[in-house]
Amino acid sequence: MKATAALGVLILLLLAPPAISQVPDDKLIVPGVRIGKWTLKMTINDLLRMNGQRVGGGGGAAIEQANARDFVSSDFWWHHWYNLDFDAITMGRDSQRAVVLLVTAGEYKTAKGIAVKSASRGDVDRAYGKPTVVTQPLPNWSSPIHDKAGLGMDFDPNGVARSIFIFRVGSARQIFKF
CA 49 → CA 84, 92, 121, 134, distances in Å?
14, 20, 35, 34
Q: Measured between alpha carbons, how far is 101 from 92 in angstroms, rounded to an integer?
A: 15
The tens digit of pLDDT for each residue in 91-132 reads: 999 999 999 999 999 999 999 999 999 989 999 999 999 999
pLDDT of residue 58: 83
Q: Measured between alpha carbons, how far is 92 from 78 in angstroms, rounded to an integer?
A: 10
Counting every residue written for the chain, the total comes to: 178
Report residue 38: phi and psi, to 5°. Answer: -95, 130
pLDDT of residue 168: 98
For residue 45, is pLDDT > 70? yes
H or E segment and range at residue 14: helix 2-15
The model's confidence at residue 25, banded by pLDDT at 50, 70 and 90, is low
For residue 42, is pLDDT > 70? yes
The tens digit of pLDDT for each residue in 51-94 reads: 999 999 888 899 999 988 999 999 999 999 999 999 999 999 99
For residue 9, is pLDDT > 50? no
The tens digit of pLDDT for each residue in 137-174 reads: 999 999 999 999 999 999 999 999 999 999 999 999 99
pLDDT of residue 3: 53
- Where along the chain do its domains lie? 24-175
* pTM of this structure: 0.85
pLDDT of residue 67: 84
**CB half-sphere exposure, 163, CA atoms < 13 A:** 19
For residue 13, is pLDDT > 50? no
